Amino acid sequence: MKNRYKIVTLLLTLSLFAGVGYYLISPKSIITNLSTNSYDEFNISLPTSRISIGQIKANSSYTIFYSRQRKTGIGKYSLMANNLEISGNEFPYTDGTEFGRVLRFTIESNGEISVAD
């Protein structure tokens, strides 16, 4: 019975470490809306994948994890409202260290978007 308890405890501990490890080392994108406006969609195109986040509510923040790109290229983002792109631009995406990488997109109160890597 004691061995079973130790095995269960070990498995739960390993699962917890795996989850925390995934959170810490996986590349992710954080979209923060500091404006009082809501938007229909925010899209991010990376060298080998595309991320689409549905409705972006006013004064909110969203985090999404994505797979490592392993490729350098141009990233693009766009902010949609009423089926129209109201803001968008490109940014350089390098394939350097992607472990723990955070792409931050901030929608300012005036609707402009800043990007930080």
Q: pLDDT digit string (tens) for 69-107?
A: 888 889 999 999 998 999 999 999 887 777 778 999 999
In contact, 63 and 44? CB cutoff 8 Å? no
What does 65-94 look like in DSSP terms, one character per residue? Answer: E-----S-EEEEEEEEETTEEEEEEEEEE-
Query: Which domain, by its residues, includes 77?
Result: 26-116
What element of type H or E holds 7?
A: helix 2-25
**Is residue 8 a part of any domain in this protein?**
no
In angstroms, the CA 81 to CA 95 distance is: 31
Q: What does the pLDDT read at residue 59?
A: 96
- The C-alpha atoms of residue 69 and residue 58 are separated, in whole angstroms, by 30
Give domain status of residue 3, yes or no.
Answer: no
Residue 77 lies in a domain: yes
Tens digits of residue pLDDT in 39-62 = 999 999 998 889 999 999 999 999
Within a domain: 21: no
| pTM assigned to the model | 0.79
Q: Does residue 6 lie within any of the structural domains?
A: no
Number of domains in the chain: 1
**Domain CATH number, residue 80:** 2.60.40.2890
pLDDT band at 1 (very low <50, low <70, confident <90, very high): low
Rounded distance between C-alpha atoms, residue 24 and residue 43, angstroms: 23
Tell me if 65 is assigned to some domain: yes
Q: Is residue 19 part of a domain?
A: no
Confidence of residue 24 (pLDDT cuts 50, 70, 90): low
